[in-house]
Structure formats: C-alpha cells, structure tokens
Amino acid sequence: MDRLFDVITVFSLILIVWVLSSVRRSHIRVEYSVSWLLAATLLLVLSRWRTFDDWAASALGLPDSFLALAIFAGAAFLIVLYRQSLRISGLKDSSITLAQQLAILEFRLEALNEKVQAPNAR
Amino acid sequence: MTADAKRVLVLIPAFNEEANVGGVIEEVQAAVPGTPVLVVDDCSVDATRSHARTAGAKVLALPHHLGLGGCVQAGYRLAYELGYEYVIRVDGDGQHDPRDIPTVLKALENGNCEMVIGSRFVNGNGSHTSLLRAMGIVFFRAVLRPILGHPVHDPTSGYVGVNRTALALFSSTFPLEYPEIEALVVLQRKRFRFVEVPCRFRPRRAGRSTITAVKSLYYIIHVLLGVFVNILKFEGRRK
C-alpha cells in the first residue's frame, strides 16, 4: 500500500515539473496553469499526509486510506477539468464572435472600397 | 449592397460547395430577380468564394471554419446591421429549390409569424429524404411537439425565412452546431411564432454529404442536449 502512495507522490511531482516547464516554454499561460498546480500540490500533500488519509477513510467509511486519496485526487482533477471546460467554452464564444465581426468588417471595407473606386473608374 | 431601403436578402451558407453554389445563385436570381444574394463562405478550401462572386453574389468570407450555426449567424448579423426586413436562407448544396422563395416570402409578409420553414412534408416532396434522416425527423417531431405546443412537420429543414424581429434575436442568440431544431426552441422561449409552407427539396447536385451513421448518432445526442439546455437556459453571456 505504501508503494501506491509513493507512486502518487512521484506522479504529482512529475505533474508539477511538467506544468512549470510548459509555463516556462509558454505552452501554457500562467493563469491556466494555476488550477493544475493547485491540484498537483494537493495530491502531493495528501499522498504524504497519512494521518489525514486514515482519518478521511474512517470518516467516509472506506476500507483503506488509499481509496480516500484516490477520491480526493479524482475530485480535484474533475474540478480542474470543469474549470478548463468553462474557459474553453468562453474562448470559443469569443473567437466565434470575433471571426463574425472580422468578416463583417472586411465585407463593409470591401463595399466601401468598391464605392470609392467606382467613380475613379469612370 | 448598401444600408438603405432594403427588404429581402437571400442568404446562402456554403462550405466547399464550388460545384453547386454558382447554379444555386443563378436559380435564386431567376426566381426572385433583383434580390441581393449573400453567400457566407465558411472558410472553404475550394473555389466556393470565387464561383459565388462570378455568379453575382456578395460574399461574406469567414476567417476560419465556424460550422453551420456560426456561419448562418454571421449572415444574420450582417443582414440585421444592413437593415434588411426579411432574410431567406437557402442551402448552398442545391437541395432547396429557389422557385419556392416567393412562397416563403409571402408567408413572412403575411405577418402572422416571425419565421417560416420550408417543409418537404407539408404537401411537399419528401421522397429525397434518406431513411436515417426520415427517422430522425419522426423522432424530433415527437420530442418537439410538447415543447412547442403544436406540431412541426420538418424540424430539420434549413430552408427558412425570418423577419426582422427574429433576425434581431438570431443575431445575438443562435445555436452554433446543428441549428435548425434548437432555433425552434429559441423562438419558442421568446413566444415567437413559426409556420411551415410546402417547398420542393431535391437530391444534392454534386459532392457528398458529410453525414455518416456515427455523425447522425452524435447529431441526435447533441441536439437533444441542446434542446433541453435551451429550455432551461437563462440569457447567456454571448451578445
């Protein structure tokens, strides 16, 4: 069982390093890395805080403390994914609106150019 | 196309329809001479844009692919900004017969509704509907009946005319994927009315439909979800 906790510790450390390195290389913007870093740090702390895991397992009526950790980890990452979905939806809405407005502006600009050029062509 | 004194605009959303769009525009011009035609090109990779211009249409060129709903909404937004009273949407694949545009327009001008659906099932010709689509139509008729409070025969029809009131609504709120069915629910939430008029539908002239069995299943799930979300939705952030 201890080995499973160690695996989670290593996994959360890798995740933290991975996210930080992505931020450093500008693959992820800082504001979008915060949720991932918080979730990974929480996982790291819980994987080393056995007293809390044991208490949570008994409070939740679970047979062992690793299950409690797994539930916390699952919940943390679900929240992160939900937050990212919200952001993606917002960005998609903005991008559609921008694309439509850009197309409309180009259309109007083209119409204006045609108007301006029409007398010159005569 | 200027911003003064306009009544009717024919809107043609098109994505990779170089083989069809020119013919559709010519048919529209023959059916309603002098009516401006706007092709909304959803970032086609073929020559849709140039074929549309050559045929005499104005082209609203989207900078990236938005899908049908985003494409149609862009056209509605422009039409609303330019002050059109009525907009009639005809698909760019040639399946909608433009000779029925006057029928749709007449129903709109009667003023009893905000939207007119060109239906292949109201004394029309539904024989060109695939089995899969026909099954979907029957299913969505049953789903929409209690929501709308009255029957709709052809809920998936994209042959649609809207007046300026509906145009104002759709300019700000329009379903982005598979918009036809969800648009009916959007209208219902605003207590707007729609009527169906018989229109002729034809098989697509060239090219292949992108609808597959898997996509149809996704369509059903997506639209069902969209319908119920639209029933529950408050006026959201997109304006």
Q: Into how many domains does chain A fold? A: 1
Give the per-residue pLDDT at B4. 40
Check residue B234 and give its pLDDT: 53
The secondary structure of chain B, three-state, reads CCCCCCCEEEEEEECCCCCCHHHHHHHHHHHCCCCCEEEEECCCCCCHHHHHHHCCCEEEECCCCCHHHHHHHHHHHHHHHHCCCEEEECCCCCCECHHHHHHHHHHHHCCCCCEEEEECCCCCECCCCCHHHHHHHHHHHHHHHHHHCCCCCCCCCCCEEEEHHHHHHHHHCCCCCCHHHHHHHHHHHCCCCEEEEECEECCCCCCCCCCCHHHHHHHHHHHHHHHHHHHHCCCCCCC
Q: How large is the average pLDDT for residues B153-176? A: 92
Locate the chain A residue with the closest alpha carbon to B1: A111
Of B239 and A66, the structure prediction assigns the larger pLDDT to A66
The contact set of A with B (CB < 8 A) is 90, 93, 96-97, 99-104, 106-107, 111
Spatial distance between the Cα atoms of B76 and A99, rounded to a whole number of angstroms: 14
Question: Model confidence at B60, in pLDDT bands (50, 70, 90)?
Answer: very high
Say if A8 falls within a structural domain: yes
Q: Which of A96, A102, A106 sits opposite B176 (nearest CB)?
A: A96
Question: What's residue B218's pLDDT?
Answer: 82
* pLDDT for res B3: 39
Residues paired with residue B192 on neighbouring β-strands, in sequence order? none
- Sequence-distant (≥ 6) Cβ neighbours of residue B192 within 8 angstroms: B113, B114, B115, B165, B166, B169
Which residues, in sequence order, are CB contacts of A1 under 8 Å at separation 6+? A64, A65, A66
**C-alpha to C-alpha distance for A24 and A59, rounded to whole angstroms:** 41
Q: Which of B39, B49, B64 to mutate to test the interface with A (most CBs of A within 10 A)?
A: B64
The whole-number pLDDT of residue B121 equals: 82
Q: Between B117 and B176, whose confidence is greater?
A: B117
Quote the pLDDT of residue A117. Answer: 84
A106 domain residue, yes or no: no
Task: State the residue range of the domain holding A58.
Answer: 2-87
**Looking at the predicted structure, is the pLDDT value of residue A22 above 90?**
yes
What is the number of CB-based contacts under 8 A between chain A and chain B?
40
Q: Would A96 be classed as within a structural domain? A: no
Q: Does domain B8-232 have CATH number 3.40.50.1820?
A: no
Question: How high does pLDDT run on average in chain B?
Answer: 87
As given in the structure block, the two tokens for residue B59 are 């082209």
Which residues pair with residue B13 across a beta bridge?
Answer: B40
**Chain-wide mean pLDDT for chain A?**
91
Nearest to B60 by CA among B38, B76, B45: B38
In a domain, A100, yes or no: no
| Model confidence pLDDT, tens digit, residues B106-160 | 999 998 899 999 998 876 555 566 777 778 888 888 988 888 888 888 888 999 9
Q: Is the pLDDT of residue B10 over 90?
A: yes
Q: Looking at the predicted structure, is the pLDDT value of residue B236 above 60?
A: no
- Read off the pLDDT of residues A51-94 as tens digits, 9 standing for 90 and up: 999 999 999 998 889 999 999 999 999 999 999 999 999 999 99
Q: Please say whether the beta carbons of B46 and A72 come within 8 A.
A: no
- CA-nearest residue of chain B to A101? B74
Q: Could you tell me if residue A69 is inside a domain?
A: yes
Chain B residues whose C-beta sits inside 8 Å of any chain A C-beta: 1-2, 40, 58-64, 66, 70, 73-74, 77-78, 81, 176, 237-238
Q: In what order do the strands lie in the sheet with B115-119?
A: B58-61, B37-41, B8-14, B86-89, B160-163, B115-119, B194-198
Domain limits, chain B:
8-232
Angle between helices A65-121 and A2-24 (to 10 degrees): 20
- The predicted model scores a pTM of 0.82
Question: Is the pLDDT confidence value at B235 over 80?
Answer: no
Give, as one character, the DSSP assignment of residue A38: H
Site from A107, A113, A114 to mutate, B interface, most B CB atoms within 10 angstroms: A107
- This model of the complex carries an ipTM of 0.82
